[in-house]
Amino acid sequence: MRNKNSIFLSCKFIITCVFLSIVLVSCKKRSVTVSDYSGWTTYAGSKDGIRYSSNEQINTDNVSRLAVAWTYCSGDKDTNNHTQIQCNPIMVDGILYGTTPRVKLFALNAATGLQKWIFDPALEDSSARKNPASFFKVCRGVTFWQDEKGENRRIIYGVGSKAYAINVADGKPVTSFGHNGYIELTENIDREAGTYNPYISNTTPGIIYKDLIIIGMRVSEEADAAPGTIRAFDVKTGKLRWQFHTIPHPGEKGYETWPDKDAWKKLGAANCWAGMSLDEKRGIVYVPTGSVGGDFYGGIRKGQNLYANSLLALDALTGKYIWHFQTVHHDLWDRDLPANPNLVTVTHKGKQIDAVAQISKHGFVFLFDRTNGNPLFPIEEKSFPESDLPGEEAWPTQPIPALPEPFARQSFGPGDITDRSPEAHREMLERFQKVKYREMFTPPSKESSWIFPGYDGGGEWGGAAVDPASAILYINSTELPWILTMVDKVKGDMSTLKGIGEMNYGKYCIACHGPERKGNGSSFPSLVEIGKKFNDEQIMNLLGSGRNMMPAFKQIAESDKKALVAFLLKSSSGNLHTKGGPALTRESASESKNPEQKHSILDDVPYTMTGYNRFLDKEGYPGIKPPWGTLNAVDLNSGKLLWKVPLGEYPELTAKGIPITGTECYGGSLVTKGGLVFIAASKDGKMHAFDKKSGKLLWEAQLPVPGYATPASYAINGKQYVVIACGGGKIGSKSGDQYIAFALPDK
Ligand code: HEC
C-alpha cells in the first residue's frame, strides 16, 4: 500500500500517539488485578487466551451497518494459490502488527491501514532468491514486548525455525537479540545431532512472562520428530533461560512412566504447536501438547506417553512442573491438543473457581481448577478395544469428560450418510460399509477406522473465545469424517534407483501424499504429474526448505533425496543427472548411506497410513448429513451446550432450497461485550457476526477470499474495529493477501 497522504497521516499519527500516551498514563493508575480486554495486544487478545473484546461500540443493534473501514494489500500472495495467512494480528499503541503470505512482518496505522514499515525475512537470507517458496510459511501471530521503562520495544515472531526480534520503531532486526536479530530454534536441543529430523517451525507465537518469551514449535509428525521441549528465552538477549522436557529425561518427573528407559534419546514431538496461555498473577503458563512422533503407530513408543497430548501447568519463571492432565493416552489418532487453553473464572457448585478450559480436536472441552488441575466435572476413564496390529499396544482406557457437553458429533452410522442425492447416498453408503471400525478411539487397523471429528477437528488452531462475564465459551467445529487405514510399509527394490526412491517415498511422504501419490484432493497435493510443474532441482529445494504445511526433510541423505526425486519424476533409468550435482548411478545410490545418518527410528516402524483421506463425495461435499461446520456456545458454569448453528454455506446448495449446511472451517472467533461473536473461517469466504445469546446470524460480509484466521478487535479514538486476515489458500480456496478492517460508518 502506498503512503500517499504521508504528511497528513504523520500528523494524525502524532495526534494519535499523544492521545494514546495520555490513555496509557491514565491506565497505569488503574488496578492491575482486573484484566484489560479493551485492546488486542497479544495473540488470542489477552494472555489468558480468551479472544474477548470489552469494546461495545459495535453491538447487536447497529452491527447491520458495519462496513469496510480499510483494506491492506501486501501484494505478496502466490499466484498458484499456495500461500495462506493464518495470522491473528495484534494492536499496540495504535499500530497493527501482523504477517503477510510470505511471512513479512508489517506495522500499519491501525485506524487507516496505512503501512508504517515492513520487514522482509527473505532479504536477510541468501538462499531466498533460489527458493522463494521457502517463505510460504505458517505464522499464526506475533508477540510484542517492551521493558519496564517502555523502551526496547520489539515484535518477536516466527519465520520457520527462526524467531526474529524486530524493532517496532523502524522495522529492523534488534541486533543484540540472538544471532544479530533472531534465535535459531534448531539450536540448543538436548539431543544428539543426527538422531532426529531437525524440522522445526515456529508457527504459533510465544508468550511473554516478565523478561521471558516462552516458545513452543511445530515439528515433524513422524517417529523421528525433533523433541518438543518447551523453552523460555530471555526476551532481551535471546539467551535460553529454561527448558521443560515433554518427554522426561532420567531423574525428571514422569520418566518412570516410560517402559523404554531410552525413550527420551529416541523419540520426539509431544510439542506445543498450538500456543499457550498465562495466569500472569500466579506466574503459571498453561501448555497444551501434541502426540509423540509417529502419529499412528505406537509400537516404538509403548506406554502412556507422558507429557504428550497433555495440558501442562508450568511455573512460568522456572519451567518447573506444577500439574498435568493427559487428554489422550498413547495417542494413535493424531489428537494433538490444537489450541491455547482459555483461562476463565466459573461459578461451580456455588463457588467462584479460577478455571482453565481446553478444547480438543475430538470436540471435548476439558475443564479444570487451574491452580491444581482438578477436573470440575467428572472425567471417566472409559475402556476401548485392543489393537489388531501386531506390535501395537493401545492404552486400555481414554478420558471422557461427562461435562461440558461435546461441541461436535462424535460418531455416525448408516442413517447419517448424505442424502444430498440418491447417487451420492449410494456411493457414500458403499464406502462407509468398507470401513470396519466406527467407534472413537478404536486403534488404527488395516481394516480402516473413522476419525470423526476429523484430523483437523472438531476444534482446531482457531481456538475458543470466552465471555468472562458469563463464562460462555464459543467454538467453531468442522464435522467431517476422515478415514484411517494402515498398510505394511513399502519395501522398494533396493537394487534400483527407483526402488530406493520408492522406499523413501513410503518412509517419508506416503502419509500425506498417499500410496498412489494422488494426495487427498485438498490440503495434500497430488504428485502424480509433478514433473510438469517442477524439475529435479526445484523438488530438491522444496525438500530442503518445506512450504506451508509441507515440512522440510533436511534429515534425508542427499542421495536418498535424489533417488526420491527420480522416483517422482519417473526417471528410472540408470543414470540420473541432477542439475545440482554429479550424475547419480544405481550403484552410488545404493551405496549411498550418508555416513552421518545413523540407524533411523523410522526403520523400526512397520506400518504407514494410506494418507489423510476426507470422506467427500465425487462432487466434493462431505459424505455425511449436515451440519458440516458449526459455531457452538458452551456454558462453562453448567457444562451445557447452549446453542449450535451452522457456520458457512455452499451458495449453490442454498440456492436449491437446502438449509444452510455449514462448511469445513479454519480460524477462530472472538466475542465482544457488545453482544457479538465475530468469525470468518468458513469456506464460502464470509465474515459473520452472530448474536452471542441466541446464535442468530445478525450480519455477514463477503471477503475477497476466505479468512482462515482469527479476527482481532480494538478501539482507536473511540472507534471500534474488527480486523480479519484474508489469506485463503486452504481446502481449494484461492490465495489472498489482504487484511480487512470493519467499523461503523462515521455519521
Ligand atoms: C506432513 C505432510 C507432508 C509430508 C510428510 C510430505 N508432504 Fe509434500 N506437501 C505437503 C503439503 C501440505 C503440500 C502443499 C504445500 C503448500 O500448500 O504450499 C506439499 C507439497 C509438495 C510438493 C509440491 C506440490 C505442488 O503441486 O506444488 C512436492 C513436490 C512434495 N510435497 C513432495 C513431497 C515429498 C517428496 C515428500 C516426502 C519426502 C513429501 N512431500 C512429504 C505435505 C506433506
Distance CA 131, CA 122 (A): 10
The three three-digit cell numbers of residue 504, written as one number: 523413501
Q: Burial-class residue 470 by CB neighbours within 10 Å (0-12, 13-18, 19+).
A: middle
Distance CA 161, CA 153 (A): 22
> How far does CA 287 lie from the centroid of its chain?
14
User: What pLDDT was estimated at residue 720?
Assistant: 98
User: What pLDDT was estimated at residue 34?
Assistant: 59
Average pLDDT over residues 387-406: 98
Average pLDDT over residues 135-162: 96
If you measure from the C-alpha of residue 576 to the centroid of ligand 1, how many angstroms do you get, rounded to a whole number? 22
What residues have CB less than 8 Å from 681, skipping those under 6 apart? 462, 476, 629, 647, 648, 665, 666, 667, 668, 669, 706, 707, 708
Q: Which one, of 59, 41, 60, 64, lies nearest residue 51 by Cα?
A: 41
The three three-digit cell numbers of residue 393, written as one number: 499396544
Residue nearest to atom 8 of ligand 1 (CA): 550
Pick from 26-35, 306-315, 537-546, 660-669: least confident: 26-35
Q: Is the model's pLDDT at 11 over the cut of 70?
A: no
Q: Burial-class residue 558 by CB neighbours within 10 Å (0-12, 13-18, 19+).
A: middle
Q: Which of 189-193, 363-367, 605-609 has the highest mean pLDDT?
A: 363-367
- Read off the pLDDT band of 23 (50, 70, 90): very low
Pick from 205-219, 292-306, 583-597, 655-669: least confident: 583-597
User: What pLDDT was estimated at residue 554?
Assistant: 83
If you measure from the C-alpha of residue 222 to the centroid of ligand 1, how many angstroms do you get, rounded to a whole number? 14
Question: Distance from first CA to last CA of the chain, Å, rounded?
Answer: 26
Q: Tell me the per-residue pLDDT of 59-89, one tens digit each, with 9 for 90 and over.
A: 999 999 999 999 999 999 998 899 999 999 9
Q: Which of 52-56, 498-502, 507-511 has the highest mean pLDDT?
A: 52-56
Quick one: which atom of ligand 1 is closest to the CA of 80? 27
Residue nearest to atom 34 of ligand 1 (CA): 509
- Read off the pLDDT band of 472 (50, 70, 90): very high
If you measure from the C-alpha of residue 426 to the centroid of ligand 1, how many angstroms do you get, rounded to a whole number? 33
If you measure from the C-alpha of residue 555 to the centroid of ligand 1, how many angstroms do you get, rounded to a whole number? 16
Q: Is the model's pLDDT at 577 over the cut of 80?
A: no
Of the CA atoms within 13 Å of residue 133, those in its CB half-sphere come to: 21
Q: Tell me the per-residue pLDDT of 224-266, one tens digit each, with 9 for 90 and over.
A: 999 999 999 999 999 999 999 999 999 999 999 999 999 999 9
Residue nearest to atom 31 of ligand 1 (CA): 550
If you measure from the C-alpha of residue 729 to the centroid of ligand 1, how many angstroms do you get, rounded to a whole number? 14
Q: Tell me the per-residue pLDDT of 415-468, one tens digit each, with 9 for 90 and over.
A: 999 999 999 999 999 999 999 999 999 999 999 999 999 999 999 999 999 999
Q: Which one, of 60, 108, 101, 103, lies nearest residue 82 by Cα?
A: 101
Residue nearest to atom 26 of ligand 1 (CA): 525
Quick one: which atom of ligand 1 is closest to the CA of 729? 17
Distance CA 374, CA 367 (A): 9
Mean pLDDT of the chain: 91
Is the CB of residue 311 less than 8 Å from the CB of residue 230?
no
User: What pLDDT was estimated at residue 32?
Assistant: 38
Q: What is the CA radius of gyration of the chain?
A: 25
Q: Which one, of 281, 305, 304, 310, lies nearest residue 292 by Cα?
A: 305
Percent of the chain exceeding pLDDT 90 equals 80
Q: Is the model's pLDDT at 171 over the cut of 80?
A: yes
- Read off the pLDDT band of 590 (50, 70, 90): very low
Distance CA 200, CA 184 (A): 10
Is the CB of residue 185 less than 8 Å from the CB of residue 161?
yes
Q: Is the model's pLDDT at 599 over the cut of 80?
A: no
Average pLDDT over residues 649-656: 97
If you measure from the C-alpha of residue 547 to the centroid of ligand 1, how many angstroms do you get, rounded to a whole number? 8
User: What pLDDT was estimated at residue 31?
Assistant: 37
What residues have CB less than 8 Å from 90, skipping those under 6 apart? 40, 41, 42, 43, 96, 97, 98, 141, 142, 143, 144, 712
Q: Which one, of 282, 379, 281, 287, lies nearest residue 328 by Cα?
A: 379
Is the CB of residue 330 less than 8 Å from the CB of residue 303?
yes
- Read off the pLDDT band of 97 (50, 70, 90): very high
User: What pLDDT was estimated at residue 1?
Assistant: 40
User: What pLDDT was estimated at residue 239?
Assistant: 98
If you measure from the C-alpha of residue 526 to the centroid of ligand 1, how many angstroms do you get, rounded to a whole number? 9
Q: Is the model's pLDDT at 549 over the cut of 90?
A: no
Ligand 1 binding pocket mutation candidate from 512, 553, 568 (most atoms within 8 A of CB): 512
The three three-digit cell numbers of residue 199, written as one number: 524440522
If you measure from the C-alpha of residue 549 to the centroid of ligand 1, how many angstroms do you get, rounded to a whole number? 8
Residue nearest to atom 25 of ligand 1 (CA): 525
**Amino acid in position 288:** P
Quick one: which atom of ligand 1 is closest to the CA of 549? 12
User: What pLDDT was estimated at residue 7?
Assistant: 41
Residue nearest to atom 19 of ligand 1 (CA): 550
- Read off the pLDDT band of 598 (50, 70, 90): low
The three three-digit cell numbers of residue 387, written as one number: 489393537
Quick one: which atom of ligand 1 is closest to the CA of 547? 18
Average pLDDT over residues 736-746: 97
User: What pLDDT was estimated at residue 507?
Assistant: 84
Pocket of ligand 1, beta carbon within 6 A = 82, 136, 221, 508-509, 511-513, 523-525, 527, 530, 533-534, 539, 542-543, 547-551, 553, 564, 568
Average pLDDT over residues 638-650: 98
If you measure from the C-alpha of residue 135 to the centroid of ligand 1, how many angstroms do you get, rounded to a whole number? 15
